């Protein structure tokens, strides 16, 4: 997380904006759907539209958080039986 915060600071944005910009850079067929309950967070999310990530930035993010780095069940095993009943 520290490396992502540093990259966000170098890019002049928040980590949340960096994440949204990264998702938007994945292609025209990929659309982030962020959720929020606060106007300030909504404004922060909209600010991601102004973030421009270079190829080097995208490569750095992919190195920090490689594809499939986060995987597994969404819920603990003991609760999985409650999903999709």
Task: Give the pLDDT confidence score for residue 35 in this predicted structure.
Answer: 87
pLDDT digits (tens, 9 = 90+) for 17-75: 999 999 999 999 998 999 899 999 999 999 999 999 999 999 999 999 888 777 777 78
Structural domain for 34, as ranges: 2-82
Q: Give the number of C-alpha atoms closer than 13 A to the C-alpha of residue 21, restricted to the C-beta side.
A: 24
For the chain, how many structural domains are there in total? 1
Please report the pLDDT score of residue 16 as a whole number: 95
pLDDT at residue 85 tops 70: no
CB neighbours of residue 52 within 10 Å? 11
Burial of residue 47 (number of CB atoms within 10 Å: 0-12, 13-18, 19+) = middle
pLDDT of residue 78: 84
Position 75 scores a pLDDT of 82
């Amino acid at each position: 997380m520290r490396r992502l915060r540093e990259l966000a600071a170098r890019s002049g944005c928040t980590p949340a904006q960096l994440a949204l910009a990264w998702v938007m850079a994945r292609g025209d067929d990929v659309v982030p759907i962020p959720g929020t309950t606060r106007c300030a967070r909504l404004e922060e999310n909209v600010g991601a539209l102004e973030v421009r990530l270079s190829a080097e930035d995208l490569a750095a993010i992919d190195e920090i958080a490689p594809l499939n780095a986060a995987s597994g069940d969404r819920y603990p095993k003991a609760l999985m039986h409650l999903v999709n009943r």
